[in-house]
Amino acid sequence: MPEAEKAGMVHGVFTRVASKYDIMNDLMSGGVHRLWKDAMMDWLAPRPGQKLLDVAGGTGDVAFRFLNRAPAATATVLDMTESMLIEGRKRAEAEKMAELLEWVVGDAMALPFPDNTFDVYTISFGIRNVVRIQDALKEAFRVLRPGGRLMVLEFSRIPNDLLQKVYDLYSFNVIPVMGQVVAGDRDSYQYLVESIRKFPDQETFAGMIRAAGFEQVSYRNLTMGVAALHSGWKL
């Protein structure tokens, strides 16, 4: 698919699902995405006063968790789909956290920030939607300050063929139907499951992170590899 077409399609998908995004996440994963995001925070160990950039941050799940764990931290949530950020801002107001957050419409491949700005860069279930993943990783490296850390949460590969087949059956058959019933949008959820299958496996993705300049790159599987966390440092 041509690059501009993919970007337009991803934007269309998230504009359509924005108002149902949080509830669909809970339904599709049986709430497990919350445990994965908590595991991300456990490994990240946010510290007081840190400046977080959460890219493809959508409705703010990662930023809220970060701020809840780190007093006096601040977070910038960047996403190319404004309707996702609007949902996030409503949540921030409801949770009385609005003054700690900034919401920016922008592209992961061309971040509107100077070099060496943030202590932490996170991207959760976002990078597989980015058209040129390597460009996004290079931008992450650029905007992190020396000593800063990247952490990526993304669907990954189950290193067991039988379990992978069971998971494929679930995702290809159940998720598009849930999308149809709950969000009235089968095609968007069909895209989401297909994009999961196209994303590189754990080792390949770790290599891409190293190629962007990060050091001490490592990963942890979550739920047997259904998802994985990748960590890297700008040293």
Ligand X SMILES: C[S@@+](CC[C@H](N)C(=O)[O-])C[C@H]1O[C@@H](n2cnc3c(N)ncnc32)[C@H](O)[C@@H]1O
Decide if residue 79 touches ligand X (CB under 6 A).
yes
Decide if residue 108 touches ligand X (CB under 6 A).
yes
Decide if residue 67 touches ligand X (CB under 6 A).
no
Q: Which residue is nearest to ligand X (CB)?
A: 58
For ligand X, the binding residue among 44, 50, 52, 58 (CB under 6 A) is 58
For ligand X, the binding residue among 44, 52, 67, 109 (CB under 6 A) is 109
Q: Which of residues 113-132 bind ligand X (CB under 6 A)?
A: 124-126, 129-130
Decide if residue 84 touches ligand X (CB under 6 A).
yes
Nearer of residues 31 and 147 to ligand X, judged by Cβ: 31
In whole angstroms, what is the distance from residue 49 CA to residue 71 CA? 7
Nearer of residues 58 and 176 to ligand X, judged by Cβ: 58
Residues near ligand X (CB under 6 A): 10, 14, 56-58, 61-62, 79-81, 84, 107-109, 124-126, 129-130
